[in-house]
Amino acid sequence: MVDLEELYVEPQVVANPNDRLRDILPKIKEKNQWVVPVVLHKKVIGLLTYKDLLKRRVSLDAKVLTLSSPSITIDEKDDFSKVIAKFYTTKARAIPVVNKNKELLGMITRESVIKYLLDTNQIESNKKAREYMSSPALTIEAEESVARARWLMIRDNISRLPVTREKKLEGIVSSRDIVNALYSINEKKRSSILTEEERIMAMPVKEIMTSPVISVKGSDSLKSVAELLLKKNISGAPVLEGDFIEGVISTIDIIKSLESKYNLTMPIEAKLTSGLKKEEIKAEIDGVIERYLSKLEKMTDIINFKVSFKESAKSQDKTLYKTTVTVTTKEGNFIASETDWDPIVAVKKAVEKVENNLIKKLKKIDKSKKVTKEEE
């Protein structure tokens, strides 16, 4: 079994919670580091990611603490099956490795996991990209706004969007492209910052996309796709069938190909009404639930994640759905319900309530720990 020391590396950028964004962002960009551990007294207390920066544009004088999210970690004594399971459930780009005192030892990246899988011949050549890609691909038209691209990424918890023109692939835009554009604004007056931010958000996405695009074919082997992604230092690529996009494949999809070998499962239970069991609707609901589970997994260990739907009322050809989400964690149970005519909207609202309550609980626990230490 692999020693974790072979997988983790020392991060080139480490932030203190009191560091200013103006000092950290140039380093993140220069080192091309998607995930930055936030460390206080050698202990990991959070993570700063491009997704955090994408959600809201704050002043460059803001402290890292204002944007960082709770940290998931890997224990130095964990075996590889626990490591790959953590990446599978959280979809993280990188995860800190800590010792028993929660002190930072290094970072394991998704790329180092894929490299290990390739080096040990665990990614089979007979498996094809089209078998494991996410499909249909979520795309954006070249003339659509940067604001819409940002909204889609935040809504669906994704980091890239293929850019199309007349259904053909023209480019790709990532969360990093949007963040770099937003934070390239030269801050002088607050009014001028807002005006410039509005201008960037209104720009057509083609202005900041990357082109030409690195893509793969549906018939390409999973192994060759993994090798290409590592070689080009990218986490995913559009999958083409002829001239058209059929899906997107990422390093997480490659990890998913090993579900049976490593017994990888999502701790999800979903009770659907008969009207929601149609394949297309069920797939959309499953996708939303998995994306939100990944967000929560980055805050704490999720023991169980239950979603149930109940038909509350009917009006002509519409159904009002009451959705109840129950999340079990080591910090306790979190329950929230929401009602909406759209079951997807109901799920999102309910999970967002759970997420907010979980964040409040974690902050309360953290504050309590600090008070206890001060008393000691």
DSSP codes of every residue in 69-119: BPPP-EETT--HHHHHHHHHHH--SEEEEE-TT-BEEEEEEHHHHHHHHHH
Question: Is the distance from CB of 63 to CB of 83 less than 8 angstroms?
Answer: no
Over the stretch 149-167, which tens digit does the pLDDT of each residue have?
Answer: 999 998 788 899 999 998 8
CATH class of the region 266-375: alpha beta
**pLDDT in single tens digits along all 376 residues of the chain:** 688 999 999 999 999 999 999 999 999 999 989 999 999 999 998 899 998 899 877 888 899 988 888 788 999 999 999 999 999 988 899 999 999 998 999 999 999 999 999 999 999 889 999 999 998 899 999 999 999 999 999 878 889 999 999 889 999 999 999 999 988 756 544 455 557 788 899 999 999 999 999 999 999 999 999 999 999 999 999 999 988 999 999 999 999 999 999 988 877 777 788 778 776 677 778 878 887 887 888 888 888 888 999 998 888 788 999 999 999 888 889 999 999 999 889 998 999 999 999 988 888 887 776 666 655 5
What 8-state DSSP symbol labels residue 246? E
- Domain 129-259 part of CATH 3.10.580.10: yes
Nearest C-alpha neighbor of 85 from the set 262, 313, 239: 262
The top-level CATH class assigned to 4-108 is alpha beta
Quick check: helix, strand or coil at residue 249?
strand
DSSP state of 133: S
Residue whose tokens read 């554009």: 181
With tokens 């795309």, the residue in question is 139
Q: What is the pLDDT of residue 193?
A: 55
Query: In which residue ranges of the chain is CATH 3.30.160.100 found?
Result: 266-375
Domain with CATH 3.10.580.10 in the chain: 4-108, 129-259
